[in-house]
Every structure is written in C-alpha cells, then in structure tokens.
Amino acid sequence: MNDVEFVVKRKNYSVTLKHYSIMLNTYRNILLFCLLLNSYSWAETQNAPTLPLAEAVENVYPAIVRIEVVSEQGSSGRMMKSRATGSGVIISKDGRVVTNHHVAGKATRITCRLHNGEEVMADLLGADPMTDLAVLLLRMEDRPANSKPLTVANFADSDKVEIGDVCFAMGSPAGLSQSVTRGIVSNVALISPNKGSFRLDGENVGELVRWLGHDAVIFPGNSGGPLVDEKGYIIGINEVGIGSLGGAIPSNLARTVSKELAENGFISRCWTGLECQPVLNPNEKGILVAGIIEESPAEDAGLKPGDLIKTYDGRTVMARIAEDLPLFNQLSYGMKVGKKLKITGLRKNKKMSWVLTTATRESAFAKERELKSWGITIRDFTLMSSLEARRSSKKGAQVHSVGRGGPSNSAKPSLNRGDVITGINGSPVTGIADLVRLSKKITEGKNEPVSTLVSFERDMAKLLTVVKIGPEAEENRPVQAWKPWLGVSTQVLTRELAEALNMPKTTRGVRIAQVYPRTPSQKAGMQAGDLLFRIDGQIIQAYRTEDAEVFGNMIKEYKPGSLALFSGMRDGKKLDLNVTLEKRPDPSNELPDYEEETFEFTVRELSFGDRVSKRLKEKEPGLVVENVEPAGWASLAGLRQGDLVLNINGESMSEVDLFEKKMNQWIKNEEKRIIFFVKRGIHTLFLELEPDWDNT
C-alpha cells in the first residue's frame, strides 16, 4: 500500500486470499449447513461452557479504533489517491493512537471511528517505515463537549510473552466494525521468510522487527490493531499475515518507537554502512560482515567483508540464524549519532579491533511529490537513495513515475523513471525545491506550454531534452458531419416476419420499433408498428438482418431539411407520410462540458440520446458525469461515470455554466463538504465530496 515493493507483496497476498476465498465459497455453504444442522443437538448434548471474554479484555475493547485514510502514492506521473481502512489503539487520554505505517504513514486525511461509532478526524504525528509504526493524534477539540473520556490501552512487557500464551487480536478486519479474535502466541521471534521482501518506503521492515506470531485470525484491515493478553494489556501491534499466522510488532518496540514518534515526529537512527549476516560456520560465535557500503563509516573504520564481529560497543554479539539479526540491528541502529564505538573481532582468524564513528541515518527515500506541469512524480535524494543510485552527491531530483503522454513522456528523448534532472534552461537543479521554483518562473502568466531545455542524467550519460511544461495544450475536439435524421428505431422486415404478417415473402422494408419524442417522425405521425417499404418511390432493400443499416443509409443520402415521402402500411392499410428530415441532434461530444480540476471529474449537458435512454422529460434538469478520474476526490466520494447530477448543495443543475460558477464559488470558500444528489439507474443517492484543502 505504501511502497512499490509492498504493493507487490500485498498483491501476492491478495492472490492467496482470492484462492482462499474461492475455496471458502465452495465449502462455506456445506460447512455452514453442517454446523447449523448439528448446532442444536451439539448444544444440548455437550452443554459446553461458553468462553466469555475476560473482563480485562472487555475493558480494553473500547480503545480500538477503526481508521479510514485517504493516502497518496506516486504512479503514472500523478500522486494517486486511494482509500483504505485499518485499525489502531488509543494509548493516551489526550488521543494518541498507535497504528501501522502502512495504514496511515502516507495519509492525507485520517478519520477514526471509535467503538461507539463516534467519528473523529486525526492528524499524523509521525511514522516509521523500519518498524512499520505510526502515531496519530485525535482532534479532541472536535469532539462534543459532553463526550465520554477515551478508553486507553496500556502496553505490557513483550519480553515476558511466551509461546502458548492466550492472546486476542483486536481491530477492524476488512474495514468491518471493531472485532476480536482469540488465539495463542505461536512464535516470539517470527521473521519474514524472504529477506527484504517486506519493504516500506524502501526500508526493509524485517531488519529490526521480530514479530510475535499468533494464530488469532486476522485479515487485511486488522493492521495496526492491538494484540492483547488475557489481562487486557497490549503485547503487540498486528502488522502482517504469514500463511495462517498473524505477526505483531512486540509491544516493547512499539512503545519506544511510538513515544519517540509522538515527541519528535521521526525516529533518530544512526548509520554505519555495515551489512551483516549470520555466520557460515555454526561453531563460530559472532556476526559475519557481508558487505561494507562505499564511503561509509564502516569503510572509514577499516572493516571488510568476511570480518567476524565479536563485540560491538562492548557488547557480545552473535547471529547464528537469521532470527538473531534484528537484535543486532536494533543495537547497531540505536547508537547515538556521532558516537565513537569500538568493535572487536577476527579477520582470517587474526584478532582485530576497529573504531567506528556513527553517522545520521537518513530515510531510504525522500517524500514523493507530483509536478503536474511536467507530468511526473519526483523525489529528492537522501544519502541512501543517492548511494543506491551510485551518485556522488545528493544533488538533482530523481524521476519516480512518468505519466503516459504527459509533457515529460512526450519529450524527445522522454524522461524515464530513475532519470535525474540536474538543470533547467541552464540553471542547476539541486532538488525538488529548485525544480518547482524554476518551473513556476518559466510558466508564470503563460497560457500555453513553454519549451524548456532540461539537463538530466541517465546512468552515466548526461543528456538534454526539451519538455513543454506549463498549462495543458488546448484540446482539439472535431465536430461531427451533419446528417439528416428521422428519429425512429427500426427492425428489418425479414421474409419470416413478412410471412407472419400476411404479406408476400418478397416484401422488403422495415418495421418501426420506436418513435422518439419530438422528432421528425413523431411530427409526421409515424407510429411504432408501421411498416415502411419505400422512400420517395425507392424500395427499401432490406429483407435480411444484415440489412439493418440500409434504411438509415438511405436517409443519410438526403440533406438535412429535405422532404421525403415514406410509403408503407399501417394496420393493413396503405400509408404515405411526408416527412421533413431534420439535422441529427448534437452528439454528446459536441455538447457543453466542464472538467472540474479540483475534484477531478467532467460533466456535460444532457443530449437527446441521454434523455431517451434515461427516460427524462424535455426540461428535466441534470448534468451527465462524463468522466471521473480514478484517484480524485470525486472518485473517492463514489461519483461514477454515467451518473446524472440532479443537484449540488440543493441547487438544481442543468447548465454547465451554472455548474462551473457554483463549483468555483464552493471551492473558493473551501467548503468542508459538497453534497451531490445523483441519479443512478432508477436509484437516487447523496454523495459527499470532502476534499482535504491542505493537500488540494
């Protein structure tokens, strides 16, 4: 959800879930049937005692919150909004909530629903991808004055948790209301079986965390919810599902991280450039140095791959299996920044000693931003991302995603993911701030795209390109050729049909199936059921279903405004009707429309075809939703293409001009919510469009 790698993982997981659900669907009914069939006799004969939740657990239950977030992630040159739900737990009276980073770490809007259904907006205090933890603060000032105080859950000492202990997983699985499942702790040092497979913002989550594995059932949506012991204390924060096991971040780690996040908004960690792995020889004691990042403190200290570390800052360290590594990483990353520490060990069986000075550990990736006028999302470099990109400095802005057909994609050569923009029109670009500033300067007051010379680096090559940045080019929408129109739908008079209607088999023509209102055909008195054989004396050569377009094509031979004589039969009597063919009504793509850029959707006025298909009266108001951008606020509110907008904030809508005027007014006022009353098929519904004005 929060990172590319994680999405892959989630997708894999969803595939598993899909298979699981198929299996469930197949067997659920049988199982349910069996359970229902046996339940009565089972209850009677077994008289088994029920298992009530312990009072302590009941007491902590009101501390669970269901979290609904609107998050953003860069993709295809845009920051795509998405809606998700997760769980959290209240840990302080002033409204601090602990959850997962992958639930709320990239949220632009957070709403928490308390156990009693009360909804409270919240702000993100801080998030840490390495431990996948985030801390929110409920907007207590928004709560009604007579609200009950919050129920707070407390952390237990997770080091005391043992395999077999009873535990309760609490949260909102699949976005449902707060739920509890029961299980036992299965493992106290669960790690990801695939090293590096769980990444958030480029960070390897498994580096620091050894999860508490348990078999209390959890689903997506349980993430961030507490794992509670029998006394009602938090022993972990649910984070992952590995097979049928749940994995929770141990409470001791969650407590320290959430405290620091609440206080500072981030976790201060040190960086050494040391990469370790368990020893190859199980009889050896220590940690094997797998790699040293160039120009890192570890390299400066003289450490080399193959060295065996025995002590680290005076503490004996060892990693015999992968599960031992997170403990070493916690120790290593937890040192103070700038601290000189002593490391002892072996190199080719010779005793060695090194002195290492720790450096500040920056995050793996900087926050991604969208540059709309360029059609890209982009990131500044951090120390780690610049090292990963094998760059000698953090200067430049790295392209993360490019919109297909956008200005950067249309440039020759086009900008690609991973390219580093280093200059515009000869001015250096050291980061996103420069890029934004220079772009603004270039496009200010312009109403069409400006050709901009861009210097960028791709691997070792230093390239130039021209990107047309700025307002989108005016779109060209061609008009459709005028055609004459009768305003009926017809069916071919096939031989079988002609015979059934007591006419010779050789009859050729069409039968009118529908006469549209207010059309030339209606004005001339045509009726459904009329049979037409000739137009101006010419036989309508239609007698097979393949001839369906013959009649229409004959009409299209005329010019709009022409008078044509239609000959045929009605109720067995000869019929001759003179019809003045009118110009076909304007097609929908020629009707006035308006693209609303804040909420990201397009509406247009009703066409004749819309009124016929939606069975609307001539003057009935409404605007048709032509398009809804998938990641926009309108999409998040549930607006759908094809919806008919009847009114907005109570004001009837039938003209695009009024719509534009009103929308601009509401946007200017930054209305908290705009209510759309829409018609969808035979149903009507109210939709609440609630933008986050700070991020719009």
Partner 1 sequence: MKKLVLFTLALFLGVSFQALGKKPEILWRKLLKENANCVTWVSVTVKLEISAGGRSLPPQEQKLEALGTIIAEDGLTVLSLNKVDPTANILSRIRTPGASVNVNYTEVMLLMQDGTEVPAKLLLKDVDLDLAYVLPIKERKDEYKEVIFSKVPSQAKQKADPLILDEVVSIGKLRQTLYRQSTLQRGWVNAVIQKPRKYFVIENTSPGTPVFDQSGKWLGVVVYKMVGGRPSEIVTLPASDVLEIAQQVRTRTQ
Among 635, 677, 678, 691, binds partner 1 (CB under 8 A): 635
Residue 168 to residue 351: CA distance in whole angstroms: 49
**Would you call 576 a catalytic residue per the annotation?**
no
The region, left, alpha or beta by phi > 0 then psi within -120 to 50, assigned to residue 500 is alpha
Residue 101 to residue 129: CA distance in whole angstroms: 6
Smallest gap, in angstroms, from Cβ of residue 632 to partner 1? 9
Do the beta carbons of residue 670 and residue 692 sit within 8 Å? Answer: no
- Nearest CB to partner 1, comparing residues 65 and 625: 625
Do the beta carbons of residue 218 and residue 241 sit within 8 Å? Answer: yes
**Would you call 102 a catalytic residue per the annotation?**
yes
Q: Segment 450-509, which members bind partner 1 (CB under 8 A)?
A: 472-473, 475-483
Which H/E stretch holds residue 466? strand 461-469
User: Binding of partner 1 at residue 421 (CB under 8 A)?
Assistant: no
Do the beta carbons of residue 143 and residue 224 sit within 8 Å? Answer: no
Among 221, 406, 484, 568, binds partner 1 (CB under 8 A): 406
Q: Token pair for residue 374?
A: 């360029």
**How long, in residues, is the chain?**
696
- Chain-centroid distance, C-alpha 14: 15
| Residue tagged active-site, from 223, 296, 385, 567 | 223
Which H/E stretch holds residue 428? strand 427-428
- Nearest CB to partner 1, comparing residues 166 and 539: 539
- Nearest CB to partner 1, comparing residues 432 and 634: 634
Burial of 375: CB neighbours in 10 Å, binned 0-12, 13-18, 19+ = buried
- Nearest CB to partner 1, comparing residues 386 and 401: 401
**Would you call 132 a catalytic residue per the annotation?**
yes
Q: Segment 637-696, which members bind partner 1 (CB under 8 A)?
A: 640-643, 680
Smallest gap, in angstroms, from Cβ of residue 12 to partner 1? 24
Q: Token pair for residue 652?
A: 């009837």
Long-range contacts of 288-296 (CB under 8 A, 24+ apart): 288/319, 293/387, 294/387, 295/387, 296/271, 296/272, 296/359
3-state secondary structure of 691: coil
User: Binding of partner 1 at residue 391 (CB under 8 A)?
Assistant: no
User: Under rule CB under 8 A, how many of the chain's residues touch partner 1?
Assistant: 40
| Residue tagged active-site, from 71, 87, 102, 380 | 102
Among 12, 578, 627, 696, binds partner 1 (CB under 8 A): 627
Smallest gap, in angstroms, from Cβ of residue 82 to partner 1? 13
Smallest gap, in angstroms, from Cβ of residue 302 to partner 1? 52
- Nearest CB to partner 1, comparing residues 63 and 540: 540
Among 317, 631, 687, 689, binds partner 1 (CB under 8 A): 631
Among 18, 404, 440, 544, binds partner 1 (CB under 8 A): 404
Residue 493 to residue 507: CA distance in whole angstroms: 8
Cis check: omega of the bond before 220, within 30 degrees of 0: no
- Nearest CB to partner 1, comparing residues 74 and 129: 74
- Nearest CB to partner 1, comparing residues 76 and 330: 76
The partner residues of 421 in beta bridges, in order of sequence, read 397, 456
- Chain-centroid distance, C-alpha 415: 24
Q: Token pair for residue 612?
A: 């016929």
User: Binding of partner 1 at residue 554 (CB under 8 A)?
Assistant: yes
Among 4, 10, 62, 76, binds partner 1 (CB under 8 A): 76
Smallest gap, in angstroms, from Cβ of residue 521 to partner 1? 19
The partner residues of 87 in beta bridges, in order of sequence, read 66
Do the beta carbons of residue 259 and residue 319 sit within 8 Å? Answer: no
Q: Which amino acid is at 583?
A: K
Per-residue contact flags (x/-) with partner 1 for residues 521 to 550, judged by CB under 8 A: --------------------x------xxx
| Residue tagged active-site, from 128, 132, 201, 380 | 132
User: Binding of partner 1 at residue 410 (CB under 8 A)?
Assistant: yes
Among 91, 228, 301, 628, binds partner 1 (CB under 8 A): 628
- Chain-centroid distance, C-alpha 202: 18
Q: Segment 557-586, which members bind partner 1 (CB under 8 A)?
A: 557
- Nearest CB to partner 1, comparing residues 36 and 481: 481
Residue 240 to residue 247: CA distance in whole angstroms: 5
User: Binding of partner 1 at residue 589 (CB under 8 A)?
Assistant: yes
User: Binding of partner 1 at residue 408 (CB under 8 A)?
Assistant: no
Do the beta carbons of residue 691 and residue 598 sit within 8 Å? Answer: yes
Residue 305 to residue 307: CA distance in whole angstroms: 6
Q: How far is CA 442 from CA 239, 287, 435, 464, in A?
A: 46, 55, 11, 18
User: Binding of partner 1 at residue 609 (CB under 8 A)?
Assistant: no
Stretch binding partner 1 (CB under 8 A), from 17-25, 202-210, 412-420, 621-629:
621-629
Catalytic (active-site) positions = 102, 132, 223
Interface ranges with partner 1 (CB under 8 A): 76, 78, 404-406, 409-410, 472-473, 475-483, 541, 548-550, 553-554, 556-557, 589, 602, 626-631, 635, 640-643, 680
